[in-house]
Amino acid sequence: MRQRLIEGVHEAGRRVMEIYHGDFSVETKDDNSPLTDADMAAHYALVALLEAQTPGTPVLSEESQMVAYSTRQTWQRYWLIDPLDGTKEFIKRSGEFTLNVALVENGVPVFGIVYAPVLKALWLGQAGQGAWKQIGDELSEKISVRPLPDAKSQPWQIMRSRSHGAEAFANFCAGLPHHECINMGSSLKLCLVAEGQADLYPRLAPTSEWDTAAAQAVVTAAGGEVLNAYTLEPLRCNQQESLLNPHFIVCGQRDSRWENALKKRGASSQLL
Protein backbone atom coordinates (compact mmCIF):
# COMPACT_ATOMS: atom_id res chain seq x y z
CA MET A 1 0.00 0.00 0.00
CA ARG A 2 2.86 2.39 0.74
CA GLN A 3 3.97 2.42 -2.90
CA ARG A 4 0.44 3.06 -4.08
CA LEU A 5 0.19 6.00 -1.69
CA ILE A 6 3.43 7.43 -3.05
CA GLU A 7 2.17 7.03 -6.61
CA GLY A 8 -1.15 8.65 -5.68
CA VAL A 9 0.55 11.64 -4.08
CA HIS A 10 2.70 12.05 -7.19
CA GLU A 11 -0.45 11.95 -9.32
CA ALA A 12 -2.05 14.68 -7.18
CA GLY A 13 1.17 16.67 -7.51
CA ARG A 14 1.03 16.47 -11.31
CA ARG A 15 -2.47 17.93 -11.26
CA VAL A 16 -1.25 20.72 -8.97
CA MET A 17 1.60 21.49 -11.37
CA GLU A 18 -0.78 21.75 -14.33
CA ILE A 19 -2.63 24.47 -12.42
CA TYR A 20 0.60 26.07 -11.20
CA HIS A 21 1.80 26.63 -14.75
CA GLY A 22 -1.53 27.98 -15.97
CA ASP A 23 -4.09 30.54 -14.88
CA PHE A 24 -5.86 29.89 -11.60
CA SER A 25 -8.37 31.67 -9.42
CA VAL A 26 -7.75 32.72 -5.83
CA GLU A 27 -10.52 32.94 -3.25
CA THR A 28 -10.43 34.01 0.38
CA LYS A 29 -11.67 31.62 3.06
CA ASP A 30 -13.50 32.65 6.23
CA ASP A 31 -10.21 32.82 8.13
CA ASN A 32 -8.79 35.17 5.46
CA SER A 33 -6.39 32.54 4.15
CA PRO A 34 -6.19 32.04 0.36
CA LEU A 35 -7.70 29.13 -1.53
CA THR A 36 -6.80 28.19 -5.11
CA ASP A 37 -7.97 25.68 -7.69
CA ALA A 38 -4.89 23.63 -6.82
CA ASP A 39 -5.89 23.31 -3.15
CA MET A 40 -9.19 21.77 -4.17
CA ALA A 41 -7.77 19.58 -6.94
CA ALA A 42 -5.24 18.10 -4.51
CA HIS A 43 -7.94 17.72 -1.85
CA TYR A 44 -10.23 15.68 -4.07
CA ALA A 45 -7.37 13.56 -5.43
CA LEU A 46 -5.91 12.73 -2.02
CA VAL A 47 -9.24 12.03 -0.35
CA ALA A 48 -10.18 9.66 -3.18
CA LEU A 49 -6.78 7.95 -2.92
CA LEU A 50 -7.04 7.35 0.82
CA GLU A 51 -10.66 6.25 0.76
CA ALA A 52 -9.79 3.71 -1.96
CA GLN A 53 -6.73 2.37 -0.15
CA THR A 54 -8.17 2.26 3.38
CA PRO A 55 -11.96 2.01 3.22
CA GLY A 56 -13.59 2.89 6.52
CA THR A 57 -10.67 4.94 7.86
CA PRO A 58 -11.77 8.57 8.38
CA VAL A 59 -10.07 11.26 6.29
CA LEU A 60 -9.80 14.81 7.61
CA SER A 61 -8.54 17.47 5.21
CA GLU A 62 -8.00 21.19 5.62
CA GLU A 63 -10.54 21.61 2.85
CA SER A 64 -13.09 19.19 4.35
CA GLN A 65 -16.11 20.29 6.28
CA MET A 66 -15.18 20.54 9.94
CA VAL A 67 -15.91 17.41 11.99
CA ALA A 68 -17.10 17.95 15.57
CA TYR A 69 -14.77 16.81 18.32
CA SER A 70 -17.53 14.61 19.72
CA THR A 71 -17.06 12.54 16.56
CA ARG A 72 -13.30 12.97 16.14
CA GLN A 73 -12.50 11.87 19.68
CA THR A 74 -13.80 8.41 18.80
CA TRP A 75 -11.20 8.07 16.04
CA GLN A 76 -8.26 5.93 17.09
CA ARG A 77 -6.89 5.94 13.56
CA TYR A 78 -7.47 8.46 10.78
CA TRP A 79 -5.85 10.27 7.87
CA LEU A 80 -5.00 13.95 8.27
CA ILE A 81 -4.08 15.85 5.12
CA ASP A 82 -3.11 19.32 4.01
CA PRO A 83 -3.65 19.19 0.25
CA LEU A 84 -1.51 22.28 -0.37
CA ASP A 85 0.61 23.66 2.44
CA GLY A 86 2.08 27.01 1.47
CA THR A 87 -0.74 28.36 -0.69
CA LYS A 88 0.76 31.86 -0.47
CA GLU A 89 4.00 30.47 -1.89
CA PHE A 90 2.02 28.71 -4.61
CA ILE A 91 0.38 32.01 -5.56
CA LYS A 92 3.78 33.73 -5.64
CA ARG A 93 5.10 30.77 -7.67
CA SER A 94 8.09 30.41 -5.37
CA GLY A 95 7.90 26.62 -5.53
CA GLU A 96 7.93 26.28 -1.74
CA PHE A 97 4.66 24.42 -1.25
CA THR A 98 3.89 20.81 -0.38
CA LEU A 99 1.23 18.11 -0.39
CA ASN A 100 0.94 16.46 3.02
CA VAL A 101 -0.58 13.13 4.04
CA ALA A 102 -0.38 11.77 7.60
CA LEU A 103 -1.76 8.71 9.34
CA VAL A 104 -2.55 9.47 12.97
CA GLU A 105 -2.98 6.73 15.57
CA ASN A 106 -4.08 7.60 19.10
CA GLY A 107 -3.04 11.20 18.58
CA VAL A 108 0.42 10.38 17.19
CA PRO A 109 1.41 10.87 13.53
CA VAL A 110 2.91 7.45 12.70
CA PHE A 111 3.20 7.73 8.93
CA GLY A 112 3.70 10.76 6.74
CA ILE A 113 4.37 11.78 3.16
CA VAL A 114 5.45 15.31 2.24
CA TYR A 115 5.77 16.04 -1.47
CA ALA A 116 7.14 19.23 -3.04
CA PRO A 117 6.21 18.90 -6.72
CA VAL A 118 8.29 21.83 -8.02
CA LEU A 119 11.38 20.36 -6.36
CA LYS A 120 10.32 16.81 -7.33
CA ALA A 121 11.21 15.88 -3.75
CA LEU A 122 9.27 13.48 -1.57
CA TRP A 123 9.91 12.72 2.10
CA LEU A 124 8.39 9.72 3.84
CA GLY A 125 8.52 8.65 7.46
CA GLN A 126 7.07 5.60 9.20
CA ALA A 127 7.27 4.94 12.91
CA GLY A 128 9.64 2.08 13.73
CA GLN A 129 10.98 1.86 10.17
CA GLY A 130 12.74 5.16 9.46
CA ALA A 131 12.57 8.05 7.04
CA TRP A 132 13.51 8.47 3.37
CA LYS A 133 13.88 11.16 0.73
CA GLN A 134 13.37 10.63 -2.98
CA ILE A 135 14.13 13.07 -5.81
CA GLY A 136 12.20 12.40 -9.01
CA ASP A 137 12.66 8.84 -10.20
CA GLU A 138 15.90 8.33 -8.30
CA LEU A 139 16.17 5.64 -5.66
CA SER A 140 15.05 6.81 -2.25
CA GLU A 141 17.74 7.42 0.36
CA LYS A 142 17.37 6.96 4.07
CA ILE A 143 17.65 10.20 6.03
CA SER A 144 18.26 11.12 9.64
CA VAL A 145 18.74 14.19 11.78
CA ARG A 146 22.29 15.29 12.43
CA PRO A 147 24.16 15.89 15.70
CA LEU A 148 23.89 19.49 16.80
CA PRO A 149 27.05 21.44 15.79
CA ASP A 150 29.11 23.03 18.54
CA ALA A 151 28.15 26.53 17.25
CA LYS A 152 31.80 27.60 17.51
CA SER A 153 33.45 26.10 14.46
CA GLN A 154 30.10 25.43 12.78
CA PRO A 155 26.96 27.57 13.25
CA TRP A 156 23.55 26.12 13.94
CA GLN A 157 21.20 26.19 10.97
CA ILE A 158 17.84 27.61 12.03
CA MET A 159 14.76 27.41 9.83
CA ARG A 160 12.60 30.53 9.64
CA SER A 161 9.15 31.06 8.16
CA ARG A 162 8.96 33.53 5.30
CA SER A 163 5.58 34.87 6.40
CA HIS A 164 4.94 34.44 10.12
CA GLY A 165 6.22 35.28 13.59
CA ALA A 166 9.26 37.38 12.68
CA GLU A 167 9.46 39.34 15.94
CA ALA A 168 9.06 36.31 18.19
CA PHE A 169 11.58 34.40 16.10
CA ALA A 170 14.14 37.20 16.42
CA ASN A 171 13.63 37.42 20.18
CA PHE A 172 14.17 33.69 20.54
CA CYS A 173 17.25 33.59 18.33
CA ALA A 174 18.85 36.45 20.29
CA GLY A 175 19.55 33.94 23.05
CA LEU A 176 21.14 31.30 20.85
CA PRO A 177 24.82 30.57 20.15
CA HIS A 178 26.29 31.37 16.73
CA HIS A 179 23.75 30.47 14.09
CA GLU A 180 22.53 31.10 10.57
CA CYS A 181 18.91 31.44 9.47
CA ILE A 182 17.30 29.84 6.43
CA ASN A 183 14.05 31.31 5.09
CA MET A 184 11.59 28.83 3.65
CA GLY A 185 7.87 28.27 3.24
CA SER A 186 5.54 25.39 4.13
CA SER A 187 6.39 22.07 5.79
CA LEU A 188 9.70 22.00 3.91
CA LYS A 189 11.25 23.55 7.04
CA LEU A 190 10.55 20.43 9.08
CA CYS A 191 11.85 18.18 6.31
CA LEU A 192 15.20 19.95 6.25
CA VAL A 193 15.61 19.19 9.94
CA ALA A 194 14.65 15.57 9.26
CA GLU A 195 17.31 15.17 6.58
CA GLY A 196 20.06 16.81 8.63
CA GLN A 197 20.34 20.02 6.62
CA ALA A 198 19.05 22.15 9.53
CA ASP A 199 19.11 21.85 13.30
CA LEU A 200 16.16 23.75 14.68
CA TYR A 201 12.85 25.22 13.60
CA PRO A 202 11.03 27.33 16.19
CA ARG A 203 7.47 27.97 15.08
CA LEU A 204 6.23 30.87 17.19
CA ALA A 205 3.12 31.67 15.18
CA PRO A 206 -0.20 29.88 14.55
CA THR A 207 -0.47 26.59 12.66
CA SER A 208 -3.05 23.84 12.45
CA GLU A 209 -2.59 20.12 12.93
CA TRP A 210 -2.83 19.38 9.21
CA ASP A 211 0.08 21.77 8.61
CA THR A 212 2.47 19.67 10.68
CA ALA A 213 1.29 16.06 11.09
CA ALA A 214 2.87 14.56 7.96
CA ALA A 215 6.19 16.32 8.44
CA GLN A 216 6.15 15.47 12.15
CA ALA A 217 5.96 11.80 11.20
CA VAL A 218 8.99 12.29 8.94
CA VAL A 219 10.97 14.16 11.61
CA THR A 220 10.31 11.64 14.35
CA ALA A 221 11.02 8.67 12.06
CA ALA A 222 14.34 10.37 11.24
CA GLY A 223 15.26 10.59 14.92
CA GLY A 224 14.15 14.14 15.70
CA GLU A 225 11.32 15.65 17.71
CA VAL A 226 8.48 18.11 17.27
CA LEU A 227 7.81 19.57 20.70
CA ASN A 228 5.15 21.74 22.26
CA ALA A 229 7.10 24.93 23.06
CA TYR A 230 5.21 25.40 26.33
CA THR A 231 5.86 21.95 27.77
CA LEU A 232 8.60 20.44 25.56
CA GLU A 233 6.38 17.39 25.17
CA PRO A 234 5.73 15.89 21.71
CA LEU A 235 2.92 17.49 19.71
CA ARG A 236 -0.23 15.41 19.64
CA CYS A 237 -3.21 15.56 17.32
CA ASN A 238 -6.94 15.42 17.98
CA GLN A 239 -6.81 16.18 21.70
CA GLN A 240 -9.38 18.99 21.74
CA GLU A 241 -12.11 20.76 19.79
CA SER A 242 -9.65 23.20 18.24
CA LEU A 243 -7.29 21.93 15.56
CA LEU A 244 -4.80 24.72 16.23
CA ASN A 245 -1.33 23.69 17.36
CA PRO A 246 0.47 25.32 20.24
CA HIS A 247 3.70 27.01 19.23
CA PHE A 248 6.37 24.38 18.77
CA ILE A 249 10.03 23.59 18.30
CA VAL A 250 11.40 21.12 15.75
CA CYS A 251 14.81 19.78 16.68
CA GLY A 252 17.28 17.16 15.64
CA GLN A 253 18.16 16.77 19.28
CA ARG A 254 17.49 18.54 22.54
CA ASP A 255 20.10 20.90 23.92
CA SER A 256 20.17 23.02 27.05
CA ARG A 257 21.37 26.03 25.06
CA TRP A 258 18.21 26.45 23.01
CA GLU A 259 15.98 25.25 25.85
CA ASN A 260 17.48 27.94 28.11
CA ALA A 261 17.07 30.54 25.37
CA LEU A 262 13.40 29.65 25.20
CA LYS A 263 13.01 29.98 28.96
CA LYS A 264 14.97 33.23 29.22
CA ARG A 265 12.82 34.86 26.58
CA GLY A 266 9.65 33.92 28.40
CA ALA A 267 8.39 31.04 26.32
CA SER A 268 5.14 30.66 28.21
CA SER A 269 4.08 34.28 28.00
CA GLN A 270 6.17 36.87 26.17
CA LEU A 271 6.97 34.84 23.06
CA LEU A 272 4.27 32.26 23.00
pLDDT confidence bin for 271, thresholds 50/70/90: very low
Percent of the chain with pLDDT over 70: 96
Q: Please, what is the Cα angle at 80 between 86 and 62, to 5 degrees?
A: 45
E strand or H helix that includes residue 3: helix 2-20
Look at residues 232, 233, 218, 227 and name the one whose alpha carbon lies nearest to residue 98: 218
Given a contact cutoff of 8 angstroms between Cβ atoms, the answer to whether 65 and 87 are in contact is no
Tell me: the pLDDT tens digits for 125-174?
999 999 999 999 999 999 999 999 998 899 999 999 876 657 888 889 98
**Average pLDDT value over all residues in the chain:** 93
Question: Is the model's pLDDT at 265 over the cut of 90?
Answer: no
Quick one: pLDDT at residue 190?
98
Which residue ranges make up the annotated binding site? 62, 82, 84-87, 211
Which residue ranges make up the annotated binding site for substrate? 62, 84-87, 211
Which residue ranges make up the annotated binding site for Mg(2+)? 62, 82, 84-85, 211
Lowest mean pLDDT among 29-33, 141-145, 146-150, 252-256: 29-33
Please give the average per-residue pLDDT across 173-193, as a whole number. 94
Quick one: pLDDT at residue 266?
55
Lowest mean pLDDT among 19-33, 161-175, 249-263: 161-175
E strands, 26-177, where? 26-28, 34-36, 59-61, 77-85, 98-105, 108-116, 121-126, 130-135, 141-143, 156-161
Domains defined for the chain, CATH in brackets = 2-142 (3.30.540.10), 156-271 (3.40.190.80)
- Note the pTM of the prediction, 2 decimals: 0.94
